[in-house]
Structure 1
């Protein structure tokens, strides 16, 4: 039984060493400086499900509009500090822009 455990342990370590370089070569590290992170809870942002009319009423006209593209139609409204993504007429996501 002891030989079986030793062999199994050696095979486990060996396979880990074989596949580690491949996994680390495929991995990508993303770093976000602490100063550029924002607390979404404190930010006043359009909420999921809001209409385009309510976003325009609350935050005004966007600086830029992209889309709609695809099916279902997805469009982006770019404001100074955030981007709002719409599916049709409804907000599906709001993303804060990084501080510069």
Structure 2
């Protein structure tokens, strides 16, 4: 008797599942080679350790200067295509600005 109930339960379940609407998903896989995911030309930007005097003589006067703030003092120099971050007199980081197409 238990065997029949199990068989009937399995049959009922499979019938129910067969009657349920099925959803199908389709996805397209796009492969982008790593070398073409970003601009690979080296940017002409100030490098870590460069002095403020060298940055000013190479790239000219910044469009805007923010700071110094904090301890140690951090200053931002904003140029057309990048922002230079200084700790005291030395570059600690340069960030390219987003260039919307």
TM-score range, shorter chain: 0.5 to 0.7
Unpaired runs of at least 5, structure 1:
1-36
Where relative contact order (Cα < 8 A, 6+ residues apart) is larger, the structure is: 1
Paired positions, count: 63
Which residue number in structure 1 is paired with residue 42 of structure 2? 42
Query: More helix per residue: 1 or 2?
Result: 1
> 1:69 & 1:78 partners in 2: Cα distance?
15
Unpaired runs of at least 5, structure 2:
1-37
Q: Map 1:9-48 onto structure 2 (within 5 A).
A: 37-39=38-40, 42-48=42-48
> TM-score normalised to the size of structure 2?
0.59
Which has the larger Rg?
2
> TM-score normalised to the size of structure 1?
0.60
Which residue number in structure 2 is paired with residue 84 of structure 1? 84
